[in-house]
Amino acid sequence: MANKKTIGILGAGAMGWGIGYILSTYQKAVVKIWDRDPNLISEAKRTRQNPKYSDPAIILPEEVLLSNNLGEVVNGSNLILLAVPSFAVREMCQRISSFSFPSLLMISKGMEKETGLLPFQIAQEVLGKIDILHLTGAGYGKEVHRKIPVTEVLASKNETLLEEVKALLETDWLTIKTSTDLLGIQLGGALKNAMVIGIGMAEGQGEDLEIRTGLIKEGVREMIELGKVMGANEETFLGPAGKGDLEISANPLSRNYRLGQALAEKGITEVQRDLNEKGTTVEGFHTTFAAHQLAQKHGVQLQIIEEVYNVIYERRNPKTAQEKIISLTK
């Protein structure tokens, strides 16, 4: 990358906005942010704040370009940060495939429902030979830009690029560890989403730290079992991208966890109606289907995810599933 980095960020959610704030304010990079919502971009241009996803105290410098024009953001960028939900990864890769850029940084956690592919696999399929990195770990967007100490993991098979982007992202409060296990990093993040639904189901409306601790342990064990069959490193799932991500996500702040609570209380019919009415996206919903299919393909039993799958896709009794998930802690 050039001495003066130009970063194009696609998606003005909490993480995309937070990373844009860090890069433009502390690292003095040239930052351009795209979002598909013209109202969001229009309001953000006026106030330099994110009206939907971000802390209002976070104000972007005037130099940050905000745009609804993909070409304006992608062209001339040294690095593209794809900060969209996992279900939008293929569409966005297709939309930017006609542009030229050297490397792609991803943060999406999930699997494509129809194919079971992880985000980096989709990017490789659509974009061909391109350097891909992934940033993940035990943090939310608010930690990133509120200076709350947090550790993230940056993965890529290109070790030179890995060190360059680490230097670009790391701050006094944002610690970046590196890994070449791109498969394990993305697999852990995807499985975490579905497993947190199961933990929310098990705990129901009353948080139970004993059940939670037991299911985090079981979740990591299941991650490792599938990961090893697929060629990932066991150590990946014991760090921030596996166990750490599960620990911080297994609470009511997580939409996946709240979905699990709702499933245990109401069942899938009512929950599905609520999600449709509110237009809410929960990453673990589709990932549960894809992870279940992937586990069957590799002959691995993911017991937490299997019970979540049974409730969502087989419409089985959530109370029975709740009991089965809790039994995994004994």
Q: Provide the residue-wise pLDDT of the chain in tens; the chain has 330 residues.
A: 446 899 999 999 888 998 999 899 988 899 999 999 999 999 999 999 988 877 777 889 999 999 999 999 999 999 999 999 999 999 999 999 999 999 999 999 999 999 999 999 999 999 998 999 999 976 656 666 677 788 899 999 999 999 999 999 999 888 999 999 999 999 999 999 999 999 999 999 887 899 999 999 999 999 999 999 999 999 999 999 999 999 999 999 899 999 999 999 999 999 999 999 888 888 899 999 999 999 999 999 999 999 999 999 999 999 999 999 999 998
Q: Are 131 and 161 in contact (CB under 8 A)?
A: yes
* Domains assigned to the chain: 6-180 (3.40.50.720), 183-327 (1.10.1040.10)
Q: Let me know how long the chain is.
A: 330
Q: Residue 222's pLDDT is what?
A: 98
Query: What residues are paired with 155 via a beta bridge?
Result: 134, 179
Backbone angles phi, psi at 103, to 5 degrees: -150, 155
| Cα pseudo-dihedral 181, 85, 176, 290, rounded to 10 | -30
Alpha-carbon distance of 190 to 309, in angstroms, equals 14
Helix (H) or strand (E) holding 147: none
H helices present in 146-266, as ranges = 159-169, 182-203, 209-230, 234-237, 245-249, 255-266
Question: 3-class SS at 216?
Answer: helix
Rounded Cα distance, 287 and 180, in Å:
23
Read off the DSSP letter of residue 137: E
C-alpha dihedral sign at 267, 268, 272, 273: negative
Write down the pLDDT at residue 247. Answer: 94
- Please report the pLDDT score of residue 154 as a whole number: 97
Q: Give the model's pLDDT for residue 145.
A: 62
